[in-house]
Structure 1
Amino acid sequence: MVKLVLLHKADSIYEDEPDRVYDFPRAYLKAVQEGVGDWVVYYEPVKAGPRGYFAVARIRQVIPKPGVEGRFLALIEPGSYLPFDRDVPRLREGRSWESALMADDGTVKSGGVQQLAVRRLPDGEFAAIVSQGLPQDLIDIEARRYEPRSVLEGGDAVPFERPVIERLTNRPYRDVAFRRKVREAYDYRCALSGLRLRNGGGRPEVQAAHIRPVEHQGSDSVRNGLALSGTLHWMFDRGLLSVADDGSVLVSRNKVPHEVVDRLIHPGGKLLLPSEERNRPHPENLRWHRENVFGQMELTGPAPWQ
């Protein structure tokens, strides 16, 4: 196994969905097959945008692309994809994170290897890039975000250095990373009510909801998330609400009183979307929620509005 850098740009002829599948030509088959079972870092090329390194995932399997000669698909391990908390610039103090991109004279190579869609990545360089994009103390960073002297702080104690792979597979860590990215994408505003509420200390009240739950092979991509208030999160998870392909909010009318809908849902009756298109809900995730959750759960106990 070997770790890889995979180049991705949204307007490519290759049909990539970073949290699901990576589409590539035969020229890279050997390298990608070497990466099966190991981790990859996604990279946005210079001409595609400013992000640099922006996410991590693990390859589960490589298969021929159905109906397309000479093309292959790297299937991403469900639940492994995680966007970086902060994008990692291509260069650090004028040097590339990847030693393969550096010339003997200390300058960054141009052309050639820079343009490879798949590059092998040594473990140490993988760890350095991921640690820059997903700090090991991210949970503490979030805890201290609105409370500078968090009760979690322990004086001058040295934080425990959690290994990179352990962090990437740790559910509490991933939940914090997902929450931070989803709330930021929606500008801390509920996508269904339109409200941006903060408590007395400035902490946003909006939550991050998975559209397709992780336990049902949903990813931690922002495209599988919605920023929702606590009540609307509860209703969405229980199938009382969903979203149509055109963004219209769907309501289980036999379970939710009209006056509740009027109070809670934005008057336009449509999902309020992130400004950046790449962060908007993936249609397949919304379809899965409509077909597997919406209107299908029996409610027990009192509803939040009762």
Structure 2
Amino acid sequence: MGFGVFIHRTDSIYDDVPSKRYQFPKQYLTRVQQCEGDWIVYLEPSKVRNTKGYFAVAKVQEVIPDHRNADMHLAVIEPGTYLDFGDPVPFRFEHKIVEQGLLNDVGKISGRAQAAVRPLSPTDFARIVELGLGTDHDILPRVGRLSENGGFKEDQVPFQLPTARERINQLTNRAVRDRNFRKTVLRAYGERCAITGLRLINGGGRAEVEAAHIRPVEHDGPDIISNGIALSGTAHWMFDRGLVGLSDDLSVLVSRQANDPDAVTSMINSSGKLLVPERAAEHPRAEFVSWHREHCFKH
């Protein structure tokens, strides 16, 4: 087992669904197999316009032949492990290469940077995840210790960057995943409610909008942008209770069971449809929309 980098672009010729599978040719089989049972980081190449850089992390469950194409294999992603970074990590951060393992003996970028699949050192993995998760102090370990008289001593142990394995524990932490999901969804939707079209900012500069899962986590809904929409508190409440839903073309549906359907309809933006992100890959995926309509929406 070992960490790795998988290069992915939304216009890829390969049949990739980053949260589910990664398709690759035989030439990368040995490298991908080295990542089986361990975590990888997804990288959008710098040639892509407005590249997101290192944009997500996931765990490879198994590597199998692609029975649809004899020349291809699939890295199957373990369900529930994929996570978009709340803060996508650029290839260069503060004028330095984030993935230090790409540097040769004289400090220049080596040819390894061209490989679509490549190994990643534990140190580089920890660094990328550190930057991708952000630096909220409420998830970092406390470093103070109790003194003999029961209080906290002023001297503290110097902060040390968590190891790769310590970072993995954070990747499975619900609070960390919720925070990153909120960041990615709100960024994609410009902090604007996708149903009402309103972008409200409170006195503290915080957006009054929430990240809603289309298919809830408790019903195996993944923490990915295409399973999320930005909604105001009221719209989120109505969506979760099935008083509003979405058609296949993302028109906003109003339940007949709403006690005041005219008032609900008046809240919907003038287009009558969900206001979606610019990137097509970030639009709600049809499978999640239909799941919500079939299992949550009150017809």
TM-score band by shorter chain is: 0.7 to 0.9
1:56 matched to 2:57:
yes
What is the CA distance between 1:248 and its match in structure 2? 0.7
- 1:10 counterpart letter in structure 2: T
Q: Under a length normalisation based on structure 1, what TM-score does the superposition of the two structures give?
A: 0.83
Instruction: Find the counterpart in structure 2 of residue 188 from structure 1.
Output: 191
Alignment of 1:122-161 (within 5 A): 122-137=121-136
> 2:80 and 2:137 mapped to 1: Cα distance?
19
- 1:175 counterpart letter in structure 2: D
Instruction: Find the counterpart in structure 2 of residue 304 from structure 1.
Output: none
1:23 matched to 2:10:
no
Structure 2 residue corresponding to 1:246, chosen from 246, 249, 264: 249
Instruction: Find the counterpart in structure 1 of residue 237 from structure 2.
Output: 234
> 1:54 and 1:70 mapped to 2: Cα distance?
28
> 1:140 and 1:39 mapped to 2: Cα distance?
20
Cα distance change of structure 1 residues 97 and 195 upon mapping to structure 2, 3 Å threshold: closer
Cα offsets for 1:264-299 (capped at 9, x unmatched): 222321001112333221222212222332228xxx
1:114 matched to 2:117:
no
- 2:189 counterpart letter in structure 1: Y
Instruction: Find the counterpart in structure 2 of residue 96 from structure 1.
Output: 97
User: Secondary structure of the residue that 2:87 maps to in structure 1?
Assistant: strand
- Alpha-carbon contact 1:25-1:72 (below 8 Å) kept: yes
User: Secondary structure of the residue that 1:46 maps to in structure 2?
Assistant: coil
Count, aligned residues: 281
What is the CA distance between 1:228 and its match in structure 2? 0.6
- Alpha-carbon contact 2:256-2:298 (below 8 Å) kept: no
Instruction: Find the counterpart in structure 1 of residue 148 from structure 2.
Output: none
- 1:295 counterpart letter in structure 2: K
Cα distance change of structure 1 residues 160 and 293 upon mapping to structure 2, 3 Å threshold: farther
- Alpha-carbon contact 1:209-1:227 (below 8 Å) kept: yes
- Alpha-carbon contact 2:243-2:257 (below 8 Å) kept: no
- Alpha-carbon contact 1:137-1:159 (below 8 Å) kept: no
- Alpha-carbon contact 1:139-1:176 (below 8 Å) kept: no
Cα offsets for 1:247-275 (capped at 9, x unmatched): 11122223453222233222321001112
- 1:26 counterpart letter in structure 2: K
- Alpha-carbon contact 2:87-2:134 (below 8 Å) kept: no
Identity percentage over the alignment? Answer: 49
What is the CA distance between 1:200 and its match in structure 2? 3.2
Instruction: Find the counterpart in structure 1 of residue 75 from structure 2.
Output: 74
Instruction: Find the counterpart in structure 1 of residue 177 from structure 2.
Output: 174
User: Secondary structure of the residue that 1:104 maps to in structure 2?
Assistant: coil
User: Secondary structure of the residue that 2:47 maps to in structure 1?
Assistant: helix
What is the CA distance between 1:24 and its match in structure 2? 1.1
- 2:256 counterpart letter in structure 1: R
Higher mean alpha-carbon deviation, 86-95 vs 189-198, is at 86-95
> 1:44 and 1:203 mapped to 2: Cα distance?
29
1:277 matched to 2:280:
yes
> 1:72 and 1:198 mapped to 2: Cα distance?
47
- Alpha-carbon contact 2:86-2:179 (below 8 Å) kept: no
User: Secondary structure of the residue that 1:47 maps to in structure 2?
Assistant: coil
Instruction: Find the counterpart in structure 2 of residue 46 from structure 1.
Output: 46
> 2:202 and 2:46 mapped to 1: Cα distance?
40
Cα distance change of structure 1 residues 243 and 138 upon mapping to structure 2, 3 Å threshold: farther
- Alpha-carbon contact 1:138-1:173 (below 8 Å) kept: no
- Alpha-carbon contact 1:247-1:270 (below 8 Å) kept: yes
Cα distance change of structure 1 residues 256 and 24 upon mapping to structure 2, 3 Å threshold: farther
Cα distance change of structure 1 residues 122 and 207 upon mapping to structure 2, 3 Å threshold: same
Cα offsets for 1:4-41 (capped at 9, x unmatched): 10000111110212122211112222222221221110
> 1:176 and 1:23 mapped to 2: Cα distance?
29
Instruction: Find the counterpart in structure 2 of residue 262 from structure 1.
Output: 265
- Alpha-carbon contact 1:183-1:189 (below 8 Å) kept: yes
What is the CA distance between 1:199 and its match in structure 2? 2.7
Cα distance change of structure 1 residues 138 and 207 upon mapping to structure 2, 3 Å threshold: farther
- 1:228 counterpart letter in structure 2: L
